[in-house]
Amino acid sequence: MHSATSRREAMEFDTKHLTHEELLLLYKNLVLPRMIEEKMLVLLRQGKISKWFSGIGQEAISVGVTMALRKDEYILPMHRNLGVFTSRNIPLHRLFSQWQGKAGGFTKGRDRSFHFGSQEFHLVGMISHLGPQLGVADGIALAHKIRGEKKVTAVFTGEGGTSEGDFHEALNIASVWDLPVLFCIENNGYGLSTPVSEQYRCDHLSDRGIGYGMEAHRIDGNNILEVYLKISELTESMRENPRPVLVEFMTFRMRGHEEASGTKYVPEDLLALWELRDPLANYRDFLHRRGVLGESEDMTIRRQITAQIQQGLQTAFAEPSVTFHVERELADVYKDFSFTAVPPEEHSRHIRFVDAVSDGLQHAMDRFDNLIVMGQDIAAYGGVFKVTEGFAIRYGTDRIRNTPICESGVISAAMGLAINNMKAVVEMQFSDFISSGFNPVVNYLAKVHYRWGQHADVVIRMPCGGGVGAGPFHSQTNEAWFTKTPGLKVVYPAFPYDAKGLLVTAIEDPNPVLFFEHKGLYRSVYGDVPEGYYNLPFGKAALLSEGEDITIITYGMGVHWALDLLGRETELSADIIDLRTLQPLDTETIFRSVRKTGKAIILQEDTLFGGVASDISALITEHCFEYLDGPVQRVGSLDTPVPFAPDLENGFLPVERFKLAIHRLLAY
Ligand SMILES: Cc1ncc(C[n+]2csc(CCOP(=O)(O)OP(=O)(O)O)c2C)c(N)n1
C-alpha cells in the first residue's frame, strides 16, 4: 500500500465551481464500477461469469464522460467502460444477467459481456471488431445535426483501436461534416500485449487531430475532476457549435487484457507508478482531506453498494438459464416487417432500368423525410451512373450527401442513422467496392437485430455485373458474399418495373438490404414503369414464360440471357423463373415448376463455385428428388477473376455454356 501522502503528490484536484453534492456524486459513481469489478473477479474465479475485461484504474474516464453528457445523448462504449453503463443507472441485475447470458440481460443470451446496446439508456455497445463503433457515432450525430437537435455523441476507443482504418475514416467523416462527436481515446499503454511504441509513431495520439482539422486535447484520464470538468466544458460548446473533438485520455491498464492473459509483459515499476495514480484512491483521499467525505460516510456508501450488488446478483442468479427454441432464434434475425401493398398507378412511362431506379429512389425520398442518401459523387455530380442526378437540388445536400472515399465509415454511419431514427440508402460507386465496407455489413448491420433488437434500416445500392469490359474490379456480381450471412436481405431485379417497386420496398423494410443493379441493364433495358409510388413484395419470384420440358431458374442479367435463348430457339419449352429476390428466396415457385417439368437448370452470372445456384440446386435435390428426370444443372461464370479483354470476358461469362448445358439436360 502507498501512503495517502505519495498519492497526494501524484495528483492535484481542482474543484472549480463544483458543489459538495456534485463532488460526492462523482465519488459514488466512481466507487460503483470498482466494487462491481472486484466482485466480478471473484465470480470469474468461481466460474460464474465468462471472460472479463477489466477497467480498474480507468474508471474516471467512463464516469467523467458519462456524467458530462445528458441522459438522452448517445454514448458508444468499449469493453473497459463499465463505468459508462453504471453511470447511466442501468439496474445491476440486468448487467449481471447480461454477463451470465441470461434473458434478463440485453441480448437474450446471444452476445456476451459489453456487447449490447439499449435505446432506453441511449447506449450503443461495441462489436468485437472495435473500429466500426466510431463510424456509427458519426451516423448518430448526423441524425441529430440534420434534425437541428443540439446533442453530442460520445464514442470510445482504445489506443490500439486507433490503428484501424475505421478510426481514420470516422474522424475524417466527422470533420468534413462538422459532426458533434466526442472521440475519446483511452490510452492505457497496451493493446493486449502490444505497447504503444509498437502501435503508433506520433508523439501523442491527440496530435492526429491536426491531420483531421479537428480540435484535440490530451488530459489526465485518472483525474475524475479534470475529466468531468473538461468534458463538460467541451460538450457544452459542441452543442452550440457542432464540431468533432478528439480527446486523448492518458491512463493505464492495471490488469490483463482479459483476466486469463495476465500482465507479465508489463514492467513492474510501470504498474507501481500507475498504482500511485489510482483514480479512486486519489480522489477519495482528496475528498477526505477536503472534509467532503468522512470515514463513516464512505463506509455507508460502500455498504449500500455492497447490498445493491448482492441484491442484483441474487436476482440474476435466480433467473433460469436461457433455453434454445428454434423458432425464437430464427424470429429475431430480422425485424418484423409487414409488407403492405401499394398498387401501381395505371399511367406508365417507357423508361430505362436506370431511370426506374432513380424514380423509385425519388418517390421514397418524397415519402420518407427521414431518408438520407449517401455515396461518392452522388450530389451535384449525380453519381457515376447518374441515378441521383438533380436530387441534390431537389432535396438538398443534407439528405443527398457526398461522402469521402470510405465505405466502411459510411456504412457504419448508416447504421448510426438507423439507431437514431433515420433511414439510409448508401450508393456503392461499384458493387466491387463493398469489400472496403464488408465488416460493418456482415458484422454490424446483419447481426444487430438478433443481438440486441436494434434494426438496421439501411439499403446498400450495388451497381454490379460484367459484360462491360471493365476488368476484375468493376465487373463482379458479388451477391453470394451476402446471401451467406443471416440478417441481410438480398434483392436482384432484372427489369425496370421490378427495380422501382423492389427498391421502394427495400427502403420501406427496416432491415438491411443489399440491392443489386446490373450496370449492363441500366441503359440497355427499357420497360413500362408506372408513375407514382408503388411497391413489390420480397420473396416472390416471377414466372416469365411457361413450358413443359425444363425449368430455368435465374436472376439479374441471367434472365435476359435465358429470354434471348428462348427467343432464338423457339422449340424450347421452358419455365423461366426470375427470382427477383435471393434472400428471401421463393422456393415455392421453384419447387412447383420443377415438380412439373422434372428438369432444372440454374443460371447465374456469378462465378460458379459457392454461388446462389449451388444452394438452389441442393434445395431442389432435397425437396423435389422424386420428380427429377435428370441431374440439376448449375451454370455460372468461370471460376477466375473477371477478365478485361472482350474475348476473355465472353469466355468467362456463362452464355455459351448455358446453351450447351440446357441441351445436354434436355437430352438426358
Ligand atoms: C479487428 C480486430 N482485430 C483484433 C481484435 C482482437 N483484440 C481485441 S481487443 C484488442 C486490443 C485492443 O487494444 P486497445 O484498443 O488499446 O484497447 P484496450 O483493450 O487496451 O482497452 C485486440 C487486439 C479484435 N477484437 N478486432
How do residues 427-471 score in pLDDT, each as one tens digit? 999 999 999 999 999 999 999 999 999 999 999 999 999 999 999
% of the chain exceeding 90 in pLDDT: 97
> Pseudo-torsion of CA 183, 188, 189, 192, nearest 10°?
-100
**Coil, helix or strand for 277?**
coil
- 198 alpha carbon – ligand 1 mean position (Å): 14
Identify whether the C-beta of residue 282 lies closer than 8 Å to the C-beta of residue 10: yes
- The predicted structure's pLDDT at residue 7: 57
| pLDDT bracket for residue 10 (50, 70, 90) | low
Q: Rounded distance, CA 433 to CA 318, Å? A: 49
Q: What type of residue sits at position 323?
A: T
| pLDDT bracket for residue 49 (50, 70, 90) | confident
Q: Going by CA atoms, what residue is nearest to atom 11 of ligand 1?
A: 191
Closest atom of ligand 1 relative to the 79 alpha carbon: 21
Q: Rounded distance, CA 6 to CA 282, Å? A: 10
CB atoms near residue 631 (< 10 Å): 14
Identify whether the C-beta of residue 29 lies closer than 8 Å to the C-beta of residue 299: no
Closest atom of ligand 1 relative to the 131 alpha carbon: 1
- Catalytically active residues are 474
Using CA atoms, how far residue 283 sits from 15, 159, 608, in Å, is 11, 25, 64
Q: Rounded distance, CA 32 to CA 319, Å? A: 23
Give the position of cell 470533420.
Answer: 175
Whether residue 77 is predicted with pLDDT greater than 90 in this model: the reply is yes
Q: Going by CA atoms, what residue is nearest to atom 22 of ligand 1?
A: 192
Q: Rounded distance, CA 280 to CA 305, Å? A: 15
- 195 alpha carbon – ligand 1 mean position (Å): 12
- The predicted structure's pLDDT at residue 555: 99
Q: How does pLDDT run across 374-383, given as a tens digit for each residue?
A: 999 999 999 9
Give the position of cell 478510426.
Answer: 167
Identify whether the C-beta of residue 51 lies closer than 8 Å to the C-beta of residue 324: no
Q: Report the pocket of ligand 1 as residue ranges, CB < 6 Å.
A: 80, 128-130, 157-161, 188, 190-192, 253, 257
Q: How far is CA 50 from the centre of its chain?
A: 25
Q: Going by CA atoms, what residue is nearest to atom 1 of ligand 1?
A: 129
Q: How does pLDDT run across 197-220, given as a tens digit for each residue?
A: 999 999 999 999 999 999 999 999
Closest atom of ligand 1 relative to the 80 alpha carbon: 21
| pLDDT bracket for residue 50 (50, 70, 90) | confident
Nearest to 580 by CA among 534, 635, 538, 616: 538
Q: What is the mean pLDDT of residues 586-599?
A: 98
Contacts of 209 (CB under 8 A, 6+ apart): 215, 216, 246
Closest atom of ligand 1 relative to the 78 alpha carbon: 21
pTM to 2 decimals?
Answer: 0.97
- 191 alpha carbon – ligand 1 mean position (Å): 6
Using most ligand atoms within 8 A of CB, pick from 163, 199, 257, 444 the residue to mutate for ligand 1. 257
Among 45-59, 185-199, 440-454, name the one with the lowest average pLDDT.
45-59
- 73 alpha carbon – ligand 1 mean position (Å): 26
Q: Rounded distance, CA 185 to CA 205, Å? A: 8
Q: What is the mean pLDDT of residues 23-43?
A: 97
Identify whether the C-beta of residue 82 lies closer than 8 Å to the C-beta of residue 33: yes
**Grid coordinates standing for 606?**
456469378
- 176 alpha carbon – ligand 1 mean position (Å): 27
Q: What is the average pLDDT score of the chain?
A: 97
- 192 alpha carbon – ligand 1 mean position (Å): 6
From the number of C-beta atoms within 10 Å of its C-beta (0-12, 13-18, 19+), residue 167 rates as: buried
Whether residue 5 is predicted with pLDDT greater than 70 in this model: the reply is no
- The predicted structure's pLDDT at residue 509: 99
DSSP code of residue 458: E
What kind and span of H or E run contains 30?
helix 20-45
**Grid coordinates standing for 397?**
445536400
Strands (E), 301-405: 348-352, 371-375, 400-402
Whether residue 1 is predicted with pLDDT greater than 50 in this model: the reply is no
Identify whether the C-beta of residue 509 lies closer than 8 Å to the C-beta of residue 547: no
DSSP code of residue 345: P
Contacts of 135 (CB under 8 A, 6+ apart): 166, 169, 170, 173, 408, 409, 410, 411, 412, 413, 415, 416, 440
Q: Rounded distance, CA 167 to CA 138, Å? A: 11
Q: Rounded distance, CA 558 to CA 360, Å? A: 23
Nearest to 433 by CA among 412, 463, 467: 463
- 60 alpha carbon – ligand 1 mean position (Å): 21
Q: What type of residue sits at position 224?
A: I
Whether residue 6 is predicted with pLDDT greater than 80 in this model: the reply is no
Q: How does pLDDT run across 331-364, given as a tens digit for each residue?
A: 999 999 999 999 999 999 999 999 999 999 999 9
Whether residue 368 is predicted with pLDDT greater than 60 in this model: the reply is yes
- The predicted structure's pLDDT at residue 8: 52
Closest atom of ligand 1 relative to the 188 alpha carbon: 20
Residue 592, φ and ψ in degrees, nearest 5:
-60, -45
Closest atom of ligand 1 relative to the 439 alpha carbon: 1
Q: What type of residue sits at position 342?
A: V
| pLDDT bracket for residue 126 (50, 70, 90) | very high
What kind and span of H or E run contains 92?
helix 92-99
Q: Rounded distance, CA 199 to CA 44, Å? A: 30
Q: Going by CA atoms, what residue is nearest to atom 26 of ligand 1?
A: 129
- The predicted structure's pLDDT at residue 47: 86
Nearest to 621 by CA among 654, 599, 596: 599
Closest atom of ligand 1 relative to the 253 alpha carbon: 20
What kind and span of H or E run contains 539?
none
**Grid coordinates standing for 335?**
425485424
Q: Going by CA atoms, what residue is nearest to atom 7 of ligand 1?
A: 192
Using most ligand atoms within 8 A of CB, pick from 192, 205, 258, 263 the residue to mutate for ligand 1. 192
Contacts of 128 (CB under 8 A, 6+ apart): 115, 443
- 445 alpha carbon – ligand 1 mean position (Å): 20
- 158 alpha carbon – ligand 1 mean position (Å): 8
Closest atom of ligand 1 relative to the 199 alpha carbon: 16
Q: Going by CA atoms, what residue is nearest to atom 17 of ligand 1?
A: 158
- 78 alpha carbon – ligand 1 mean position (Å): 10
Whether residue 575 is predicted with pLDDT greater than 90 in this model: the reply is yes
Using most ligand atoms within 8 A of CB, pick from 52, 53, 128, 130 the residue to mutate for ligand 1. 130
Closest atom of ligand 1 relative to the 191 alpha carbon: 13
- 130 alpha carbon – ligand 1 mean position (Å): 7
- The predicted structure's pLDDT at residue 344: 96
Q: What is the mean pLDDT of residues 42-61?
A: 92
| pLDDT bracket for residue 417 (50, 70, 90) | very high
Q: Going by CA atoms, what residue is nearest to atom 2 of ligand 1?
A: 129
Residue 218, φ and ψ in degrees, nearest 5:
-130, 120
